[in-house]
Amino acid sequence: MANSENLKPIKKGALSKEEAKRRGQIGGKKRAENYEKRKALKELLEIGLQLIDSETGETNDFAMVMAQIEKAKKGDTQAFTTIRDTIGEKPKDIVENIVAPIIDFGGVKIWHTATYCLHKGSILTSLINTL
């Protein structure tokens, strides 16, 4: 198995076309195997979420949603964030560069540049440049 001790960088042109093709095929087959494993796991999870909980008589996915809602109602901010993001209400980070006009201070001209993060409502960085 690859790890940091046995990885060896390959210099450009060091492999023949046949060897590069062979290694590419091996990598492609491994990628396809991993994709199939992830696909099978996803299908199993989807089936598991639709199973009925014997205690409540509800589907597992419904029980999980209700558990997250209950946690959020008790003040769990991570549960709130998960619910908000899942329903598509995640705020976007809007970053703007604001450049103020050049100001003349007794023959020395400066301008002020600030990066402003809109959803947080705060100035992240401030830089004064002199000409």
At 113-122, the pLDDT tens digits run 554 444 444 4
124 in helix, strand or coil? strand
Helix axes 17-50, 60-73, angle to 10 degrees: 80
Q: Check pLDDT > 60 for residue 129.
A: no
Helix (H) or strand (E) holding 46: helix 17-50
The tens digit of pLDDT for each residue in 18-62 reads: 888 898 899 999 999 999 999 999 999 999 999 998 888 999 999
> Which residue's structure tokens are 């639709």?
50
Residues 63-67 have a mean pLDDT of 92
Pairing mode, strands 95-99 and 108-117: antiparallel
pLDDT score of 128: 42
Please report which confidence band the pLDDT of residue 94 belongs to, taking 50, 70 and 90 as the band edges: low
As a whole number of angstroms, the distance between CA 92 and CA 84 comes to: 12
Helix (H) or strand (E) holding 63: helix 60-73
Please report which confidence band the pLDDT of residue 110 belongs to, taking 50, 70 and 90 as the band edges: low
Residues 70-94 have a mean pLDDT of 88
